[in-house]
Amino acid sequence: MIKALLVDDEIRVLRAIEKNVNWKACGIDYLFTAGDVDSARIQMQKYSPDIVLTDIEMPYGSGLELIEEIRKTDGAVICLCITCHPEFSYMRKAMQLGSIDYILKPVDYGELETVLVKAVETIHGSRYGAGNGPEGRAVKPEAGYYEEDWFISQAQGYIEQHLIEDISVKLLAEHLGCSPSHVMRSFRKRLDMTVVEYVTKKRLEKAKQLLANTDLPIMTVAEFTGYTDYSYFTRVFKKETGITPREYRNSTKPA
């Protein structure tokens, strides 16, 4: 049973998300809502949701403060931000707090559903072997049919939460409690790509989202997607898409 809490002080926006997202199809059984941080705290204590979707700027505290409080009490809760604020400082803070995504308003409901499905998969993967391993890393299930799916789900969740940081096969292996060779084999077998190829794919997806939906400087977009070298970011982007980040941004603007 998966429970989610949606927090937004704009009631119109809250109701629109509540109505237009197919929560059941995403694997979420119960949805609770709150209009401010104080109400969210009450809902957290009452229902113990597995997933929290929160706006950032709200009365009586910000969504980032809420996530920070959640992290101090329950690191297993999956958090993501939904906001109209594209400021890099907000984005960086959200990612540092472990937010799995930073979705800008107006909300693309299909995009949000994709994020939620992955979140639910991560929760199921974590619960599969809960209580059977040391704290601080994911707990591997018993060997069997679901093991490869578990590895991939956990690895994908880790990657998406750490796009802004250096990501290596070694770090993934430590998080999953397995060998680097096992991680590499799993990616090849299940996704038909290397870990590096997958990380690049996810970083460029996030870069495209930011280029199309914000006016952030391209250097800032590069930093937020894990590239500290602007020239390298441009080369990678052009190699994968055939055009530069600036050309991509221009192509998304209305004529």
CATH number for the domain harbouring residue 232: 1.10.10.60
- Are residue 99 and residue 171 in the same domain, yes or no? no
Res 133: pLDDT: 42
- Are residue 176 and residue 210 in the same domain, yes or no? no
Tokens 């799995």 sit at which residue? Answer: 100
Res 75: pLDDT: 74
Q: How far apart are the first and last CA of the chain?
A: 46
- Are residue 164 and residue 111 in the same domain, yes or no? no
Question: In the chain, how many domains are there?
Answer: 3
- Are residue 114 and residue 179 in the same domain, yes or no? no
What are the percentages of helix, strand and coil residues in the chain, rounded to 5? Answer: 55, 10, 35
| Residue 240 three-state SS | helix
- Are residue 161 and residue 201 in the same domain, yes or no? no
- Are residue 36 and residue 135 in the same domain, yes or no? no
From CA 35, how far away is CA 55, in angstroms rounded? 10
- Identity at 30, one-letter amino acid code: Y
Res 144: pLDDT: 46
- Are residue 22 and residue 96 in the same domain, yes or no? yes
- Are residue 221 and residue 176 in the same domain, yes or no? no
Residues 100/80, Cβ–Cβ less than 8 Å: yes
Nearest to 230 by CA among 241, 210, 246: 246
- Are residue 42 and residue 103 in the same domain, yes or no? yes
- Which alpha helices (H) appear in the chain, and where do they start and end? 11-20, 23-26, 37-47, 63-73, 88-96, 109-128, 147-161, 169-176, 180-191, 195-213, 218-224, 230-241, 245-252
Res 127: pLDDT: 65
From CA 38, how far away is CA 60, in angstroms rounded? 6
Q: Among the three residues 173, 192, 211, which one is the final residue of a domain in this structure?
A: 192
- Which alpha helices (H) appear in 98-194, and where do they start and end? 109-128, 147-161, 169-176, 180-191
pTM (2 d.p.): 0.59
pLDDT tens for the chain, 255 residues long, are 899 999 999 999 999 999 999 999 999 999 999 999 999 999 999 999 999 999 998 877 899 999 999 988 877 899 999 988 777 777 778 777 778 778 888 888 988 998 898 888 888 776 654 444 474 445 554 444 446 666 777 788 788 778 888 888 888 888 777 788 888 888 888 889 999 999 999 999 989 988 988 888 999 899 888 898 999 999 999 999 999 999 999 998 876
Res 131: pLDDT: 44
Identify the domain containing residue 140 by its residue range: 129-192
Res 130: pLDDT: 45
Q: Among the three residues 170, 192, 214, which one is the final residue of a domain in this structure?
A: 192
Residues 118/106, Cβ–Cβ less than 8 Å: no
Tokens 């059977």 sit at which residue? Answer: 132
Phi and psi, residue 83, nearest 5°: -155, 160
The Cβ of residue 46 has, within 10 Å, a number of other Cβ atoms equal to: 10
